[in-house]
Structure 1
Amino acid sequence: METFSKKEKEKQRQKRQKDKQEKRENRKANAQKGQSLDQMMAYVDENGNITSTPPDPTKKRQINEADIQIGVPKQTEADAQPTTRQGVVTFFNASKGYGFIRDKQTQESIFVHINALAGPLNENDKVSFMTTMTPKGLNAVNVEKL
């Protein structure tokens, strides 16, 4: 003797099988058989866009492997030369011991630590300073109040 729930489960199972069979038949009917490798290929043009046409060999450029730069650019001698800069203290927290100086020429914000100061600093003070490069970026050193 079958219960109502067993009959319902059997109906659902048969419906799933039927749906699966219909999907399989649709896939077979709509499958694009006979495509050649050339029709399935995709190419990248000189601008980096994907196309279906092969690239033009006349537009090929030779690239020197030594010119390819990976990582951080090498510093030149001009970058390493320390020069005295002027700026304004935009933020300084004496209790934590650090702040930031806005350079007058480049308008970039440069980190300053309390150990690099010649005297006490406050916000909006005009200062002269030199910079050093650290792994985290530019740091101000030899900071003097103007």
Structure 2
Amino acid sequence: MTKSRETFNKKEKEKLRQKKKQEKVDKKEARKSSEKSTDFEDMIAYVDEFGNITSTPPDPTKKKKEIDVDSIEIGVSKAVETEDDGGGRKGKVTFFNDSKGYGFIKDEQTQESIFVHVNGCIDQIQENDKVTFETEKTAKGLSAIEVKLVEK
């Protein structure tokens, strides 16, 4: 007599597989029988005048506001170039490292920090000095050139 090739473990695995298959079929039937409306009108969503999503359509009798299409800006507005008055920009040296030869100047008008290198300086500068300067665009951003001390 030979032993049956089906072991207890194999029988249990087959039962689990059949049970999962039956559960999957039951879930599929439950989804089909659930009374979800697939009507087009139920799928529509409306946006009110404040940008909120609502299920009610807008009132056509309501007076609509006229909007100038040209006044709508998408994205970040472009920076306006400041006109140089011939003397350049003014600022204050917030940091300067003599040993490394670089520092930063805080512009008085825009309050932005601008990089300065010792090669772009006409006069010797130190921290807290008031200076005038020109700017140039570099690969890493704005850089101050022709930096001069302001006489007090």
TM-score of the superposed pair, with normalisation by structure 1: 0.71
The alpha carbon displacement at 1:118 in A equals 0.7
1:23 corresponds to: 27
SS in 1 for 2:36: coil
Aligned counterparts of 2:56 and 2:15: Cα–Cα separation in 1: 52
Structure with the bigger percentage of helix: 1
SS in 1 for 2:17: helix
For structure 2, which runs of at least 5 residues remain unmatched after alignment? none
Aligned-residue Cα RMSD (Å) equals 3.1
Structure 2 residue 64 is matched with structure 1 residue 59:
yes
Could you tell which deviates more after superposition, 6-15 or 97-106?
Answer: 97-106
The alpha carbon displacement at 1:60 in A equals 5.5
Correspondence for 2:147 among 138, 143, 146 = 143
Q: 1:102 to 1:75 in 2, by over 3 A?
A: closer
For structure 1, which runs of at least 5 residues remain unmatched after alignment? none
State the structure with more CA Rg: 2
Size of the aligned set, in residue pairs, is: 142
Q: 1:140 to 1:12 in 2, by over 3 A?
A: same
1:12 corresponds to: 16
The alpha carbon displacement at 1:63 in A equals 4.1
Correspondence for 1:47 among 45, 50, 68 = 50
Aligned counterparts of 1:5 and 1:97: Cα–Cα separation in 2: 78
The alpha carbon displacement at 1:11 in A equals 1.0
Residue identity over aligned pairs, in percent, reads 55
TM-score of the superposed pair, with normalisation by structure 2: 0.69
Aligned counterparts of 1:56 and 1:141: Cα–Cα separation in 2: 61
SS in 2 for 1:10: helix
